[in-house]
Chains A and B, each alone.
Chain A
Amino acid sequence: SQKIEQNSEALNIQEGKTATLTCNYTNYSPAYLQWYRQDPGRGPVFLLLIRENEKEKRKERLKVTFDTTLKQSLFHITASQPADSATYLCAQTGYGGATNKLIFGTGTLLAVQP
């Protein structure tokens, strides 16, 4: 079955550095990958969407890449700030005909130290 894997270990970085989070998937290549931010006790909030035929997408300090050969998406936050500390979730849809399911990875906790 389709799986999405994110690094379960927390990522600790210093303020001002670039944070890079990884999302790997198995089997089918999804048509779309989405990234969400989740704060404790709150619902996820959409950040970026990238299509299968796009290599890169940017929004302000955020950048997402999608490599179908490696079956991987990377999520970058440049000039990170303590306010960026949260759990970041990767989600995929449109794989193997499953167009009506958005499946999430377990998320990576990012902690930005001042």
Chain B
Amino acid sequence: DSGVTQTPKHLITATGQRVTLRCSPRSGDLSVYWYQQSLDQGLQFLIHYYNGEERAKGNILERFSAQQFPDLHSELNLSSLELGDSALYFCASSVTGLPNEKLFFGSGTQLSVL
């Protein structure tokens, strides 16, 4: 158990809908990362937050948004969902987000858009 909690584990929804994925980092970790993993794309970096502030953005679509709350949990919002958004979404955390730190990953949320 990595200590990172992601909910829900599975999500099935329809095209055009909006969903929210939730992540609780390990106790004491201030940094949260979001990744998308699909079969053909591998693990794609979406966004990084540190202590409530956005630190870096990757290939995150405009339809997607994220935030980190004062209690350090994070949410990833996906809207106007398309079939291609079906993927495994991972959250990871680290203590401060420095580049020499390892990441601890949650078990992911499997999103299926039908």
Closest Cβ of chain A to B96, distance in Å, is 11
The segment from A13-21, A58-66, A72-80, A104-112 found at the interface with B is A104-112
Q: Give the contact-size bracket for chain B.
A: 20 to 34
Known: A43-B2, A43-B107. A100 touches B90 (CB 8 A): no
For A45, list chain B residues within 8 Å (CB). 2, 105
Closest to B41 in A: A106
The segment from B14-22, B42-50, B74-82 found at the interface with A is B42-50
For A105, list chain B residues within 8 Å (CB). 42
A70-114 interface with B by 8 A CB criterion: 89, 93-94, 98-107
For A103, list chain B residues within 8 Å (CB). 45, 58
Interface on chain B toward A: helix, strand, loop, or mixed SS? strand
Q: Are B48 and A100 in contact (CB under 8 A)?
A: yes
Q: Are B97 and A100 in contact (CB under 8 A)?
A: yes
Closest Cβ of chain A to B23, distance in Å, is 11
Closest Cβ of chain A to B18, distance in Å, is 24
B3-41 CB mask vs A (1 if < 8 Å, else 0) is 010000000000000000000000000000101000000
B residues lining the A interface (CB < 8 Å): 2, 4, 33, 35, 42-45, 48, 50, 55-56, 58, 88, 90, 92, 97-100, 102-108
A residues lining the B interface (CB < 8 Å): 31-32, 34, 41-46, 49, 51, 89, 93-94, 98-107
Given A102-B99, A103-B45, 10 more A-B residue pairs with CB atoms under 8 Å apart are A31-B99, A31-B100, A34-B103, A43-B4, A43-B107, A44-B103, A49-B100, A101-B45, A103-B58, A104-B42
